[in-house]
Structure 1
Amino acid sequence: MLNLEPKRVFHFFQEIDKIPRKSGDEKAVSDFILSWARELGFDVVQDEYYNLVIKKGPSAGYEISKPVIIQAHLDMVCEKTPESSHDFTKDPITLRADGDWVSSDCGTSLGADNGIGVAYAMAILEDDQLAHPPLEVIFTVCEESTFDGAANISTDLYEGKRIINLDHSVDNQVLAGSCGGSGINFELPLQWEKAPADGRFYKLYVEGMEGGHSGEDIHRGRGSAIELLIRLIRDEEIHLCSMKAGSYRLAIPRDGCCTVMVKDGQEAYLEQHVAEMREVFRKEYFAAAPELNVRLEKAEAEDILAAADKKKVVQIIDLFPNGIAKMNGAIPGVVESSNNVGTIDLCDGRLFLTAETRAAYMTTVQDILDKVDSLAAIFGAEVTYFGDYVPWEYRPDSALRLKAQEVYQQMFGEEMHSLVVHAGIECAMFIEKDPEMDAIAVGPNCEYFHSPGERMSIKSTQKMYQFVTELLKNLK
């Protein structure tokens, strides 16, 4: 166990990280917190989705204050390195500290997104020395997949009109708006055929790309392992057997593998082609993916994809919206809309793709989905959409945001910048249910969300816990 300050925050964070909590599998962590809250005598409700609402009365002097909601999500994105043997269904995530940074010690994502928000809220609930108005702590599920938790929680379970979301990752920023979006499943039947007797088979790997959050990192030019694999296999002499790349639609694909076949006598050509493309990719991504590698290894024989269907796979990835669609004309440097092709899998006679669309307006979300519909119609593919979430529109007159900025300035002598982020935030769901809701999102410095490189600043965790507790003190 790491012995870090604030002690109770890191205690709860490490306890949470012992419990598997992949998005959609939050029952165990929800039950753990439910039991903990009951032991401390809080008014707590667990709904049918495993959302939790925990209420704590006001401290002395805040008896007539209106309640404040503190909100975080229980689930996490489960990413690991190819070398990691971690099993996200049963293994605890162990931590290590290196200088100012905490990260996973088992080659996985850390779970600070949004475990640190949960830990903050639990530490606040436990501490009877803090000054605060009535508190309603809401822990939601499925934020990283479908937003079903926030979308389905009943407004009968809480009263507050002010919500502090703890799912942001830059400590001198107050989040005041976010994008909307939708998940995409895209499927196409394909035909395989027997390989020729003189076929020579290889596994072709793209490894070591940076990946990252499919919204917040989409502008960083980190590339896609899926797109690089497609560039490697364009040649008609390279036959495709199978392909699997990316791990989640909400993460930029870091790694991928395909099995290919060339005819006897073409082995040297394939090796030279891969070596040349390796250097091309390293040149293109020398800054964004310094660990990028492309390699070949011999493989067992497989059926090959029919030539016409291999061409379809290449064309679909070439044409599928991927990366930034538009920049925000009103806010310089902010992405307005994007799409991330997060996974590809050729198996069971079909092509399977998953993707995530994000945009500041649902009209531009729909514009991208219309393009996907057109692509599906051209190729005869089946496409379904799921997990829709609405944008959180910026309010220049937000009293909660202005108070947060005032408190931050008083505490640290510097400005707390407000911004709108290219990611989905649950505040939008709460505002959709109640347009009078005033919302912000804050949190400590974290990097490389949705990847095994995820890490969290120790000093910033201390700083922002002090800030959140001081903000509560100022919300009479």
Structure 2
Amino acid sequence: MSKQIETDSKKEGPGTNIPQIIEQFEGVGSDSSFSPSPRNVEFENAKSDVKFEQDKSNIGKASLRFAGAGAEFQFKKSSIHDLFPAQLWKHFSELNNIPRESRKTEKVSKFIQQFGISLKLQVKADSLGNVLITKPASKGRENRPSVCLQSHLDMVCEKEVGSSFNFDTDPIITKIVENGEFGPKLTGNGTSIGAGVAAAMAILEDRNLIHGPIECLFTVDEEIGMIGARALSPDFITSPYLVNLDSEEDWRITVGCAGGFNFENRIQVKVDKIFNPDVHSSLKIELGGSISGHSGCDVHQGQSNNMIQLARLLRGAQEGVVAKSQRGIEKKKEKEDDNEKFKFNIYDISGGTKRNVLPQRAEVKIIIDKKNEKKFREKLEELYDDIIDEYEAVEPNLFLKIENIQISEEDQNNIITHEDTTRLISIILTTSHGILRMSPVTPGLVESSINFFGIKYKKDEEQHTIIQGFFARSSSNSQLELILNTNKARASLLGIEMSDPDSFYSGWSPDINNPLFTAAKEAFIEANAGKQPEIYCVHAGLECGILKQIYPKIFAISLGPFIQNPHTIRESLHLRSLEPFYSTVTKLLERI
């Protein structure tokens, strides 16, 4: 991997021109209680036939970058209606025209309700916007047990820095690219969520399917703590069987998932109005370009948390650390005492985005004596070499960017004292992130992890606060409690305030001794030409765990098409996985 550093002279390497996301994470509440249970092709307007044609604009900036080694794929189908299942693709296209970010699902909820009404089916919705559409059984199947198909309506909204795309108003833009090993894939944020909802809609609309009674449950605000599912009343659904449509690996039947909760650390800092334009330089330092990923499914890949790595660079400059890549580990001790140490003050810091997204980038703004600026820049670049060497295998696009900027009059009031600047860097450096424990039962499965997903500086006249955001996951509720108590102890030792855990949900324990799993396995084998499914528990959150708490007698599985890089600007849906996924669901309905 080549070294990528940008300074005012625009020193660049491959990948430095890739725009990265910059969006503040959403805060979490502090009033909840922790009560773990025991144990290039665009879609045209969807109102007409949706054509696939070469991308001729930069509109893709608002959706996803392409992943994979292949070139753009000229798809042979001229219309979305040529694809199978046609009804699924029709609804997928319609959904892409409806804004549906978490907490902004009113339009899509009303759209789903109107869809059910147009089919003359029974429709009900609760005050949050969760929707249930009930379809009667096929003739002669009225006495079969009911199956609930469940998907969620909201999506994670990620876009590239500098994009003018507006998730509140603009339709999702998707493209088809050739991916070599897996064939063509569709990229465009929201693909996985759209596929599950569209599949349920297609099943509701298809009058030729053979099935017993069907309930289709569409929940809201799953991506920010499964809020919709947690608010369901015990009588909202009646089915004894639940099929969640939110999985992301088409070769698996998912039978279990991790639970989780999020929390914040609030670090109070003191400020000092010390800026002197004749003495100080103002610098913005950005470490970015991480491949990011889903904070559950991708946490095992070892990506760089650039908030921690940026703190590492700053501490190295403070302490005069000699970069191993520059001087050699054998010379470290003899050189360290003679190496220059730098003093500076932070006046702004930001990084990360949302709780279920691994952070891509981090940024800090500092003031430093002008006489030390040049050597300070050189020191950061030397220390950055160590990070490049360590992450070469997984982070091909990392970059360091250092530039002079003007400090505003307002920010001159936000300059953190040198003492608290050092303390803040120490707190960030000692922050937990990544895998905490692998499963002792299932080889290769992450049992427990924590995502340090965001940092921001909240400034007001009375108080200056650095806020860190965290999202913990585990398939063990006792481990979730341990993570909570460990972080409480750490906060107490460091003298920082930790919020109460928010949006807690239990994990989903596997149970395969039931008719639903048996029927699902048989349906999978038939839909996949005799191939056996992999039975799997995922280190991510699915609503099945919450729904099983509300409806303790329900049996559940989860299915889905093949999704890569979920919750990132590289999210993609592999087209060849849609037909067997949809076929598995419909054949499952025939068997119940």
What TM bracket, shorter-length normalisation?
A: over 0.9
Kindly indicate whether residue 441 of structure 2 is the aligned counterpart of residue 330 of structure 1.
Answer: yes
Inter-partner Cα distance in structure 1 for 2:97 and 2:383: 42
Deviations 1:101-127 (A, max 9, x none): 1112xxxxx112422110100011011
Inter-partner Cα distance in structure 1 for 2:428 and 2:194: 34
Inter-partner Cα distance in structure 1 for 2:383 and 2:581: 45
Q: Report the equivalent of 1:367.
A: 482
Kindly indicate whether residue 245 of structure 2 is the aligned counterpart of residue 145 of structure 1.
Answer: no
Residues 39, 396 of structure 1: alpha-carbon distance in 2 compared, 3 angstrom cutoff:
closer
Q: Report the equivalent of 1:107.
A: none
Match of 1:290 among 376, 396, 407: 396
Inter-partner Cα distance in structure 1 for 2:298 and 2:507: 18
What is the number of equivalent residue pairs in this alignment? 470
Contact 1:321 1:368 in 2 (8 A): no
Inter-partner Cα distance in structure 2 for 1:25 and 1:202: 37
Q: Report the equivalent of 1:409.
A: 525
Q: CA deviation at 1:393?
A: 0.5
Kindly indicate whether residue 187 of structure 2 is the aligned counterpart of residue 103 of structure 1.
Answer: yes
Inter-partner Cα distance in structure 1 for 2:107 and 2:586: 28
- Please identify, of 161-170 and 283-292, the stretch whose mean Cα deviation from structure 2 is larger: 283-292
Unaligned runs of 5+ in 2: 1-42, 44-49, 51-79, 179-183, 319-342
Deviations 1:220-244 (A, max 9, x none): 1112121122112113324322111
Kindly indicate whether residue 436 of structure 2 is the aligned counterpart of residue 357 of structure 1.
Answer: no
SS in 2 for 1:384: coil
Q: TM-score, normalised by structure 2?
A: 0.77
Inter-partner Cα distance in structure 1 for 2:169 and 2:206: 31
Matches within 5 A, 1:117-128: 117-128=196-207
Inter-partner Cα distance in structure 2 for 1:121 and 1:326: 36
Q: CA deviation at 1:207?
A: 1.7
Q: Report the equivalent of 1:205.
A: 286
Match of 1:130 among 192, 209, 215: 209
Kindly indicate whether residue 305 of structure 2 is the aligned counterpart of residue 224 of structure 1.
Answer: yes
Contact 1:243 1:344 in 2 (8 A): yes
Contact 1:320 1:372 in 2 (8 A): no
Amino acid paired to 2:511: R
Deviations 1:403-455 (A, max 9, x none): 21122223321110111111111011111122221100010000111110101
Kindly indicate whether residue 377 of structure 2 is the aligned counterpart of residue 271 of structure 1.
Answer: yes
Amino acid paired to 1:115: G
Inter-partner Cα distance in structure 1 for 2:255 and 2:167: 33
Q: CA deviation at 1:281?
A: 2.2
Amino acid paired to 2:287: V
Matches within 5 A, 1:378-389: 378=493, 379-389=495-505
Q: Report the equivalent of 2:330.
A: none
Q: CA deviation at 1:390?
A: 0.6
Matches within 5 A, 1:48-67: 48-67=127-146
Q: CA deviation at 1:89?
A: 2.1
Kindly indicate whether residue 414 of structure 2 is the aligned counterpart of residue 306 of structure 1.
Answer: no
Inter-partner Cα distance in structure 2 for 1:16 and 1:283: 43
Match of 1:390 among 506, 513, 528: 506
Q: Report the equivalent of 1:72.
A: 151
- Please identify, of 443-452 and 92-101, the stretch whose mean Cα deviation from structure 2 is larger: 92-101
Contact 1:179 1:360 in 2 (8 A): yes
- Please identify, of 174-183 and 152-161, the stretch whose mean Cα deviation from structure 2 is larger: 152-161
Q: CA deviation at 1:188?
A: 2.0
Amino acid paired to 1:61: G
Amino acid paired to 2:391: Y
Amino acid paired to 1:344: I
Inter-partner Cα distance in structure 2 for 1:54 and 1:199: 64
Q: Report the equivalent of 1:466.
A: 583
CA RMSD of aligned residues (A): 1.4
Q: Report the equivalent of 1:259.
A: 365
Match of 1:37 among 110, 113, 116: 116
Inter-partner Cα distance in structure 2 for 1:26 and 1:170: 26
Inter-partner Cα distance in structure 1 for 2:424 and 2:94: 44
Inter-partner Cα distance in structure 2 for 1:421 and 1:247: 23
Inter-partner Cα distance in structure 2 for 1:462 and 1:86: 31
Q: CA deviation at 1:167?
A: 0.5
Q: Report the equivalent of 2:540.
A: 423
- Please identify, of 110-119 and 24-33, the stretch whose mean Cα deviation from structure 2 is larger: 110-119
- Between structure 1 and structure 2, the one with the greater Rg is 2
Unaligned runs of 5+ in 1: 105-109
Q: TM-score, normalised by structure 1?
A: 0.96
Amino acid paired to 2:439: N
More strand by share: 1
Deviations 1:291-339 (A, max 9, x none): 1111111111243211221222222222232111111000111011111
SS in 2 for 1:265: helix
Contact 1:203 1:299 in 2 (8 A): yes
Q: CA deviation at 1:360?
A: 1.1
Deviations 1:242-290 (A, max 9, x none): 1110011111001221112221122211221232233322222222111
Q: CA deviation at 1:7?
A: 2.3
Inter-partner Cα distance in structure 2 for 1:196 and 1:64: 77
Inter-partner Cα distance in structure 2 for 1:213 and 1:398: 31
Contact 1:164 1:439 in 2 (8 A): yes
- Please identify, of 161-170 and 388-397, the stretch whose mean Cα deviation from structure 2 is larger: 388-397
Inter-partner Cα distance in structure 2 for 1:283 and 1:400: 49
Match of 1:193 among 272, 281, 304: 272
Inter-partner Cα distance in structure 2 for 1:60 and 1:141: 32
Matches within 5 A, 1:164-203: 164-197=243-276, 198-203=279-284
Deviations 1:23-81 (A, max 9, x none): 12111110111112111111000100100000000112312111000000111111112
- Please identify, of 61-70 and 48-57, the stretch whose mean Cα deviation from structure 2 is larger: 61-70
Aligned sequence identity (%): 29
Inter-partner Cα distance in structure 2 for 1:402 and 1:283: 49
Kindly indicate whether residue 355 of structure 2 is the aligned counterpart of residue 249 of structure 1.
Answer: yes
Q: CA deviation at 1:14?
A: 2.0
